[in-house]
Amino acid sequence: MEIATVVDLGRSALWAVLIISAPLLTVALGVGLFIGVIQAATSINEMTLSFIPKLVIMGATLALFGGWQLSMLVDYTRDIYKRIPALFS
């Protein structure tokens, strides 16, 4: 295996992780920021106030984007399996 091939495999793996995790991470950041602003404005420092809404919203986001994320992961895995014969020739 050549170095360029390894770098390309690593790059495609990192890109797949970034694309697949982006919806969940973006929603978690947005909800956390919103709850943080509310807590700062009201001086309420309850840990469950930030955890429970984030958990509910993350579950809804996973339900909404889970099928797409799974299909992206399956497509990436199929692409890797298709590349195996070319790696060792």
C-alpha dihedral sign at 12, 13, 14, 19: positive
Question: Which phi-psi region, left, alpha or beta, contains residue 44 (left: φ > 0; alpha: ψ -120 to 50)?
Answer: beta
Contact present, 1 and 39 (Cβ < 8 Å): no
Supply the pLDDT for residue 44: 83
From first to last of its 89 residues, what are the pLDDT tens digits of the chain?
788 888 999 999 999 999 999 999 999 999 999 998 998 898 888 878 888 889 999 999 999 999 999 999 999 999 999 988 887 77
Supply the pLDDT for residue 86: 83
Supply the pLDDT for residue 40: 87
Contact present, 62 and 21 (Cβ < 8 Å): no
